[in-house]
Structure 1
Amino acid sequence: MFNTPINIKILHISKYYFPYIGGVENICKYLAEGVQEQTAILCFNDKCKDQIDEVNGIKIYRVATWINIARQALSLSYFPMMHKAIKEFKPDIIHFHWANPYPAAVLLTMIPKNVKLVVHWHMDIIKQAKIYPFIKPFETALLKRANLILVTSPTYRDASLPLQPFRDKIKILPNAMDESNFILKEGDKEQIEKIKAQYHNKKIIFFIGRHIQYKGLPYLIEAEKYIKGECEIVIAGQGPLTEDLKKQCNSKRVHFVGKLNDDELRWHHYAASIFAFPSITKNEAFGVALAEAMYCYTPAVTFTIPGSGVNWVSLNNETGLEVANKDVKAYAEAIDTLLSNDNLCKQFAEAGHKRVKENFTIPQMTQLAERYYTEI
């Protein structure tokens, strides 16, 4: 592995940080712990209290959250806390995790000229369209100041309008899944067989994710009506759409199982024959859950999502099948294709596991990040 020189000090600025769990927060944690002895974190606290603590030896500067507007935490404490973090830690590089507009505005007022700036572009601002015109100037200023812009996939880089003037600064840093959560452990085979038996040893179509609009669950439930093959559809997770989805679905072969712990998630992935990933918009910027399924040898069926990294994570006709966005009949047909062709499933499963192992694990991401840090 390419090791970062000991004298490089990196301050990550993330919206939140562990023990808060979220996609961006997980990626920040993986990167921070990859260069643990040289890293600190500046983030919001999930309560109205300034706090400095440590997580796995990493110093965390947590800023009190005073109010949330349009999913953005706000606090006047951010100014003194950022000043304190920069003064005490003396970073060589600030690694800023976008989208996080308010901290970006604060950072632009006080980042030292000699400190390099890495902007980690996790996503475009999509949902907050009404306030985006007010955010845009800070976004542009941040990208201009950046020495390096990291994007999670080539497809997201090519489709993101704010990034187009800055393509010469962009490098690809794919997201990562934690393979330690998905390596089979003693006793797992018995639990996997129990899950299969629970569904009468029929092939399982598995979904895991928050039950929110862009995850596309209504399309999976609609597609179920057109699936001819014998199977059971297991939907894990929950969210604001859960109760409406249950009312929408009358099929006895669709099962809502709620939240799963890490062990249960691993067992379900290995019990499944097909992973349903019906997300429909580029709010699904990458698809770590998709990579996790592929790691567990479960081929996926996805929709084509313009501008998203999803169709770069799982490659059509190589690691799974991809169909036109929101086309429920085509989605059902793709599931039937996999249900009826064990050899194709096995081929996709092997290729999918290999793709994740080579591209989307924590060591792969950390090694690449270390190289980028050293280059700037």
Structure 2
Amino acid sequence: MNQRAYLDHNATSPLRPEVREAVEAALSLQGNPSSVHAEGRAARAAVEQARAKVAALVGARPEDVIFTSGGTEANALALAAPAGGDSWHCYLSAIEHPSVLAGGRFHRETTTLIPVSPDGVADLAVLAEKLEKHKPGGWRPLVSLMAANNETGAIQPVADAAQIVHEAGGILHSDAVQSAGRMPLDIRALGADMVTLSAHKIGGPKGVGALVLAEGVSVEPLIKGGGQERRRRAGTENVPGIVGFGVAAELAAAELSRVNEIAELRDSLEAGVRGLAADTVIFSDRVPRLPNTSAIAIPGVKAETMVIGLDLAGVAVSAGSACSSGKVEASHVLAAMGVAPELAQAAIRISLGFGTGNTDIQYCLSALAGLIKRLKKDAKEAA
């Protein structure tokens, strides 16, 4: 098989060998975790061991972890209007994942978007202004601000936002799907009331995620009909997936020491691309970013052409988010940042992860060199 460099970890990280082994072993657990016999207790023990590992990844209590079918469901659960007689208003940053922008159970008239700066960072002054404006109406705010953006890697001011939200009597949710394992996360330090995680972004299996609550926070179930997950999410637990999630969380936490090495590889990649095309644009490079994420554009070269060309050359990257059914669509993130449409159409995302080494970076740069040279030549001849 020809050599390939997999640089699309923000879409999904390959399954870790240790996770595969754990999942295969968990498939032999015969019991239902809700059963009281020996087989059921063995399955329950495996789930609870994994719950503790996932909780540790974000400094939470195991009992505050709710396992879901993935990050999308966890976000929907977080955005279920809390029970009680209060009237709630939802505030979302304009660069949130589509599963957050969908608004959960909130209607459009009770949802407000918060703009971001040209560097892709949420404008907390506008958030504070909006919260103050709605105060006379008796609304309680539910705010969702991701820990870091999935396309640009721009780290968001979650702790500062949490202080503003709590002073207004509201609660704050943070989608930390892309941040887990790539930057230190502690739910108390973030000040978040709810945090979303996903297994397959950190080398775990697809189809399992979690909503992690701060101590004392409750949610209104989306899926009812059983007592699983402390009556917060009905349905028999996905035992093998949850076990794999736990192993991936443990390994991701241990690899936080490699953050600087990953950042150096990203910086080397970006320097190399700039050397190949002096007009290269790197989005959000003036603000703190995830160490593994680089969103770049070469003016005049469409993202779809780049993604396909690199794939044929043996390099896997993506154009923005991987949540568009395989289509290359305009990025709502770059649009929110005020990026010109023609430049946004050229943006690709390169994301590193566990296993990424300098060989992958050099292979990618070699593929880009040939591709850029050919595309620039084609453009010149067509002019």
Mark yes or no: TM-score above 0.5: no
More RCO (CA 8 Å, sep 6+): 2
Q: TM-score, normalised by structure 1?
A: 0.26
Which protein has the bigger strand share? 1
